[in-house]
Chain A
C-alpha cells in the first residue's frame, strides 16, 4: 500500500490560512446553479400584448427604456424580425433581475476568494512551496489495497487555473447580463453557466484523476447543454450532440489511461503517481501507451486533430458560452491535464513528440481554414483550435510553463475576441431586428465599416487581434514566442530530440513543428486582420435602413471587454523572457510553476535548463515579430473590403478557396468513413440482424413459442375423459410393475 497520506494538511505551510476554504470555490457556483436552476422553473413572462409564441421575435412590448439597457426599445407592434442565427425571443423572464445578481455574484465572490488564496500562497513561499495543499473530504472508493478519497488539492498550477477560470468567468457572466437580457431562458442560461464553472473548478482542483474526471465529464455536460441552449432549432441541438459524442471518444482514452495507471502503480492520486511513476521504464511502451491514451482524451476535450470537429459547430451556442467554455477555459483542460501529468509525459519522449506533432498540424490546419470563413464566430473558433495547437506544441515538447502561459494569455485575448464578436453580433442583430430583416447577423459579408458605430469594441478587438497575432508587448507575443523558442531550443538538445518518432529523428520533428508554428503564426496574423478589416473597416454593407440602428453595446457588456483588453495588453508580464528584462522581472510564471513542472521540464532537457544565447534569442524573437507584422501587412494590402458584397449576393467560391470554405470537407469525410459505416453496421447488422433476428425472433419470441407448444401438448393430454385417464393409469401401473419384474 502506498503511503499517500504523509502530506497531511496539518503540516502544510498553508494550513490554517484562507486556503482551508478551498471547498467553497466550487460550492459557490454550485449554489448559484441551484438558485438559478430553481428560478428557471418559473416560466418566462410575456411582456406586452404580443403573441405568446415569440420564439422568433414576433415583437412584443419588451424592453421598456427604464430597464437599464433596452436595446430594442423602439420597436412597433407589427414588426416581425425572424432572423436566422441568433435567436433572441423577446420575452423577459420575471426573475431575470435575481439571476443577474446571483449568477455573476457567486463568481465574483469565488474570484475574491481565489485572490485571497493566491496571496496566502505567495505569503507561504509561492514558488518555494513544493507540496500541494491537499484537503480530503471523504473516502470515495475504498477497495482492498486501493483507496481513493474525494479530495481537492491546491498547488501553483491549480491556483493559476482557478484565477483564470473565476476571473474571466466573472467578466463573461457580467457580459451575459447584457447579451442574454431578452432571452426567456435567462435564469437557465446562468444556471448552466454557474454549473459549468463549478465543474471546471472541480476539474482543476481535483487531487486525483477520478475527481478530475468528474469535473472533466461535468464540463462536457454543461458544454452540451449550452451549445444546445436554443435547442428548438435542430441544428443547435445537433451541434450539442456532436460535441458530446466526439468528446466521449476522447474520454474513453482518458479512462484507459487511468486504468493503466491504476493497474501499474496502484494509485491515482497526483502526488503518489508523481512519486511512483519513476518506477516505470523511461520511454518504455507502457508509459508511452498511458500518455498516448491520455492525449486521446485531450484531443477530444481540447479540439485537436482528429477530434477537433465539434468545436466549430459548438459556435451554435450563445456567444458568451463560446467565450467562456469554447475558448478560455474548458477547451484548455487538455493542456492542463498534460501539464498536471508532466511527470508522465516527461518519461515518454515518443508521446511528447506525438503531442507536439498533433499540436503543430492542428495549428496550421485550423489556421488555413480560418482564412476563408465568413462567419465571424467560425473564424474565432478555428483560431481557437489553432491556438490550442500551439499550447500542445508547448506542453508536448516539455515546455510546460510556455504552454500554460499561452493558455492564460489566450484566455484573455480569445475571451475578448469572442465577447467583442458577441458585441458586434448583438449590434447587428438589434439593427436587423429593428427593420425586420432576415439577414445573417454573424456573416462578415453583411458587416463592414462598423468601427464608427462601435468605437469601444473596435479598439478593444484590435488590441486582442494584435495580441493573438504576436505583435510585440501584447500578451500573445510573449507566450507564443516562448512556445516557438522552446521548440527551437529543444530541437538541439533534449530527450525528445534523441528519440525517434515513426522513424524520424526527434530533432527533425521538432524543427518541423517549429516551422509549422511559424507558418501558423503568419496565417494567424492574416486571418485575424482579415476578420477585423471585413468587420470594422471598408464600406458598410449592413443596408441603408439598418445602418441607423447600429450602436455600441451597453456598459455592462463593454465593461468586461475593457478589463479583458487591459489583460490582453499586459498579460505578457506574467512571464517576461530574458531578452525583455528592461520591462520588469523576468520569468515570474517560470518560478511560480517550478515546483509543479520544473522537475519534468528538466528531465526533458537532460537536466539543464535550456539557455539561448542572446543572439539566438534575438533572432528568434525578431523572426516571430517579422512574421506577425508581415501577416498583418499582407492582409491589409491584399484584402479589398470595398469589393465585398453582402452574403446574399456573394458568388460561389472556386478551387482552393472553396475547399477552405468547406473546411477541407473533413466533416463530409468523417461522415463517409465513420458515421455512415457505423450507422450501416448498426442498422443492418446490429438492429436488423442481431436485435430483430436473434434477440427478438429467436430468444424472446422463440421462448414464447416453445412454452406455447408445450402447453398445447399438455392441454391436449388433459382431455377430461375419465376413461382415458384410467387407461393411462393402468398402462403406467403395468409399466412400473413390468419394470420391477424384469429387473
Chain B
C-alpha cells in the first residue's frame, strides 16, 4: 500500500516539475507548483500511516502555506499582467542583472 502511494506521489511530483520546466504560462506553472505540493502532501499522509500523526500535521501546514502562496502568487500574476499585458514568463525577465 505504501509503495503504491509513494509511486503515485512521485509521478505527480514529476509531472509538476516537468510542467514548471516546460510551460511558459505563469498560471499553468503556478498550478504545476500546486501539483508538486499536493504530491508531497500525498507522501506525507502515506508515511503518517506507518510512522505516526506527525505527517498529517505537516500536511496542514503545507496546505496553509499553499493557500497563502496562492493568494500572493495570483496577486503578483495579476499585477504583472496589468503591467506587461502578458503572463508569458519568457517575456518577463526584469530580474536580469
Contact = CB atoms under 8 A, between A and B. Distances in A.
A720 B89 CA distance: 10
Interface in A131-157: none
B51 to A, nearest CB: 21
Given A720-B95, A726-B20, 14 more contacts: A714-B97, A715-B97, A718-B95, A718-B96, A719-B93, A719-B96, A720-B93, A720-B94, A720-B97, A721-B93, A722-B89, A722-B92, A727-B21, A730-B21
A738 interface: no
A719 B97 CA distance: 7
A721 B89 contact: yes
Interface string B60-97: 00000000000000000000000000000110111111
B90 A723 contact: yes
Interface residues of B, number: 13
Nearest to B93: A720
Contacts, number: 28
A723 B17 CA distance: 11
B24 interface: yes
Contacts of A726: 20-21
Contacts of B17: 730
A722 B76 CA distance: 14
Contacts of B24: 723
A723 B89 contact: yes
Contacts of B94: 720
Nearest to B18: A730
Contacts of A722: 29, 89, 92, 95
A720 B90 contact: no
A727 to B, nearest CB: 6
5 contacts: A714-B97, A720-B97, A721-B89, A722-B29, A723-B89
Interface string A696-722: 000000000000000000110011111
Contacts of A718: 95-97
B89 to A, nearest CB: 5
B95 A723 contact: no
Contacts of A720: 93-97
Interface string A717-743: 011111100110010000000000000
Interface in A670-717: 714-715
A726 B21 CA distance: 6
Nearest to A714: B97
Interface residues of A, number: 11
Interface of A: 714-715, 718-723, 726-727, 730
B97 A723 contact: no
Contact of B90 (A715, A721, A727, A730): A721
Contacts of A727: 21
A608 B17 CA distance: 110
Contacts of A714: 97
B72 to A, nearest CB: 16
Q: Which of A722, A727, A730 has the most CB of B within 10 A?
A: A722
A698 to B, nearest CB: 29
A730 B22 CA distance: 12
A726 B20 CA distance: 8
Nearest to A718: B97
A721 B95 CA distance: 8
A714 B24 CA distance: 24
Contacts of A721: 89-90, 93
Nearest to B26: A722
Contacts of B93: 719-721
A550 to B, nearest CB: 87
A718 B94 CA distance: 11
Interface string B9-40: 00000000100110010000100000000000
A726 B18 CA distance: 10
Contacts of B90: 721, 723
A714 B97 CA distance: 9
Nearest to B17: A730
A726 B95 CA distance: 14
A643 B90 CA distance: 105
A721 B21 CA distance: 11
Contacts of B20: 726
A719 B24 CA distance: 16
A721 B24 CA distance: 11
Nearest to B97: A718
Top 10 nearest A-B pairs (CB, nearest first) are A720-B96, A720-B93, A718-B97, A720-B95, A722-B89, A715-B97, A726-B20, A721-B93, A726-B21, A719-B96
Nearest to B89: A722
Contacts of B21: 723, 726-727, 730
Nearest to B24: A723
B86 to A, nearest CB: 14
A719 B94 CA distance: 9
Nearest to A721: B93
A690 B24 CA distance: 56
A302 B31 CA distance: 95
A709 to B, nearest CB: 16
A719 B93 CA distance: 7
Q: Which of B21, B92, B94 has the most CB of A within 10 A?
A: B21
A155 to B, nearest CB: 77
A266 to B, nearest CB: 64
B10 to A, nearest CB: 12
A727 B21 CA distance: 6
Nearest to B22: A723
A722 B89 CA distance: 7
Interface in B40-56: none
Nearest to B96: A720
A47 B21 CA distance: 92
Contacts of A715: 97
A241 to B, nearest CB: 55
Nearest to B20: A726
A664 B89 CA distance: 89
A246 to B, nearest CB: 60
A719 B96 CA distance: 5
Contacts of B95: 718, 720, 722
A173 B24 CA distance: 96
Q: Which of A714, A723, A727 has the most CB of B within 10 A?
A: A723
A97 to B, nearest CB: 74
A30 B79 CA distance: 80
A716 to B, nearest CB: 9
A734 to B, nearest CB: 10
A229 B20 CA distance: 84
Q: Which of B29, B89, B90, B97 has the most CB of A within 10 A?
A: B97
A68 to B, nearest CB: 81
A16 to B, nearest CB: 82
A342 to B, nearest CB: 77
Nearest to A734: B17
A694 to B, nearest CB: 34
A726 B90 CA distance: 13
B3 to A, nearest CB: 18
A737 to B, nearest CB: 12
B68 to A, nearest CB: 20
Nearest to B23: A723
Contacts of B92: 722
A585 B61 CA distance: 118
Nearest to A719: B96
B49 to A, nearest CB: 25
A720 to B, nearest CB: 3
Contacts of A719: 93, 96
Nearest to B94: A720
